[in-house]
């Protein structure tokens, strides 16, 4: 399950749809692990955008925090880091 809190950032419906399409791989990886819950909050702080993602699944919990000058760059970087961490968790689960 994915929960998006856009905070004080106004996103168009097309931008929300784009974010969900970027999150497809992470969602698939999380569903394989089981009990997957992803909460993303996006806030504008001065001229920067801050993205905080908290993940809960069977393999464990972790959080990611990132700041960039544009919300799109921040989300893309966060989603790349998220997919990498979920993939690592899946590998650790297979090894153990």
- Determine the CATH number of domain 2-10+21-95: 3.30.160.100
**Domain boundaries defined on the chain:** 2-10+21-95
Is the pLDDT at 93 greater than 90, yes or no?
no
Report residue 79 as tokens. 């989603």
Residue with the two structure tokens 């806030």: 43
pTM score = 0.88
How far apart, in whole angstroms, are the C-alpha atoms of residue 19 and residue 22? 5
Report pLDDT digits (tens) over 28-61. Answer: 999 999 899 999 999 999 999 999 999 999 989 9
Report pLDDT digits (tens) over 1-35. Answer: 899 998 899 999 999 999 999 999 999 999 999 89
């Amino acid at each position: 399950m994915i929960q998006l809190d856009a905070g004080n950032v106004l996103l168009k419906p097309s931008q929300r749809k784009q974010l969900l399409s970027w999150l497809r791989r992470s969602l698939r990886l999380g569903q394989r692990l089981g009990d997957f819950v992803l909460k993303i909050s996006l806030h504008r702080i001065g001229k920067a955008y801050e993205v905080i993602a908290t993940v809960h699944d069977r393999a464990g919990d972790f959080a990611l925090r990132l700041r960039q000058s544009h919300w799109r760059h921040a989300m893309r970087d966060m989603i790349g880091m998220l997919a990498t961490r979920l993939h690592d968790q899946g590998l650790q689960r297979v090894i153990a």
